[in-house]
Structure 1
Amino acid sequence: MSIALASQSVTEEHLRQDVSPLVMTAIYEPHINLVVWQRQLQTELQNYIDALTQGLNALQLRTVIAPAEVGEWLSGLLPEDPRRGLFVDDVRQLAEMYADLFELTTVGLRLSLIHETMCPRFHTDLLICRMVTTYHGQGSEWLKEEDVDRSKLGAGAKGLPDHLSGIYRHQNAIQQLQQGEVALLKGDGWMDSQVSGIVHRSPHIHKTEKRLLLTLDFAE
């Protein structure tokens, strides 16, 4: 994994982001519901990811697995390529990071090639905490606490789309994760949190676009 040299931590009331992976431990702070590791992928790794995404029409991989087994499992499912190991190692390292952070022996791993918008409405998750990274394409969208009206979530939207429901104040309020960044999204299932789960949604995907998304969850 590639880590930028400079380190400048940014803290909002509920957000912590930094170019160092050490920022991920901030998810345990009770007032934080979103942590972003602002990493940039190595050029060779990104070139492989882009080629893999463009070369595949479908990819839906899902498993519950020990992080140490990710390398062998994923290598057997991806096309042959001299750079494949770079990508496999990156996924494995993220799985290890997630498992170490929450003291898990296994993780729920999902790697998906997405051709359409998955969750178009802003929402919160009922889970404890999810790790998300978009290897290719547009990243997840989210709202700062000061810009969201939580009364408009779910049934509170009265069937209206986000841009009409009043869930956010203005279009510029919509924040977006960048390609390659790694985020921890705290859900409503987190115990003893001082803030509810982060409000987020999938980005709008055009028919000509693809999105390669990795998510890691507590194993069911």
Structure 2
Amino acid sequence: MPQCSTRTRLARQSLLKDILLPHCSISLHQAGLSETLTQAAKDYLKSAPRSWIARGQLGDIAAQLQASFPEGTLPLQKDILEIATLYGDMSRHQALRVRLEKITTDSCRKFHVDCVDLRLLRAYVGPGVQWTTDNGSTIQEASTGTIVLLKGKHFPQWDHAEKVLHRSPPLSHRPAKERIRLLLTVDEANACGEAPFGIAA
């Protein structure tokens, strides 16, 4: 029997709530992807644009998903909306920016902190975000499907939190068939993007 989406969202929220603690800068929930969601993500990659962006409240985002996503991707649409709802619950933002990107290059190679308050990331295809707490001496990588919340430097009292730098995982050194990612990013609607600093890749 499929899990209730509300129950799933509340369970995830409970697991990710550490991000709201003053010292915490990253919170992860290792959520596996179902076969239907994995297939929908692969189907999306076959015909969808390299980058898709929606802004607005959840109802606006749901309408934009339905209008612009190809057939056969309903599980992906539903998951994106559930993840956006989770982000709204955690951040208290009413208006969101939701991005779905096909990545095939070594984008965002420098470890950095984002110019946002709170960012959610989930890779549907390929590796998840990489992060470091010691300027790159140790690099950790989220697995495919893991839901990651990261504080940006606009989060209240961010200066008191542990400094976590992150980047997109380099793809060029991986086998050819693995040089692709499908990445979901959720921010508040007026997020300004990245503010790279830290160390070079």
Q: Give me the TM-score of the superposition, normalised by structure 2.
A: 0.80
| Cα RMSD (Å) | 2.1
Aligned partner of 1:185 among 145, 150, 167 = 150
- Give CA-to-partner distance per residue, 1:175-209, whole Å, 9 cap, x none: 00111111001112212242255211111123652
1:51 Cα deviation from its structure 2 partner: 3.1
Structure 2 unaligned residues grouped into runs of 5+: 5-10, 191-201
Name which one, 1 or 2, has greater alpha-carbon Rg: 1
**Superposed counterparts of 1:28-177, under 5 Å:** 28-53=20-45, 55-56=46-47, 58-81=49-72, 84-143=73-132, 145=133, 148=134, 167-169=135-137, 173-177=138-142
Distance 1:25 1:133 in 2: 17
Structure 1 unaligned residues grouped into runs of 5+: 4-18, 149-166
User: Quick one: percent identity of the two aligned structures?
Assistant: 24
SS of residue in 1 equivalent to 2:157? coil
Aligned residue in 2 for 1:203: 169
- Identify which range, 70-79 or 91-100, moves more after superposition: 70-79
Distance 1:204 1:59 in 2: 18
Contact 2:131 2:140 in 1 (8 A): yes
Please tell me the residue identity of whatever aligns with 2:117: I
Please tell me the residue identity of whatever aligns with 1:41: L
Distance 1:70 1:63 in 2: 6
1:69 Cα deviation from its structure 2 partner: 2.7
1:36 Cα deviation from its structure 2 partner: 0.4
Contact 2:57 2:94 in 1 (8 A): yes
SS of residue in 1 equivalent to 2:69? coil
Query: Kindly tell me: are residues 100 and 57 of structure 1, through their superposed partners in 2, closer, same or farther at Cα, counting changes over 3 Å?
Result: closer
Distance 1:23 1:183 in 2: 11
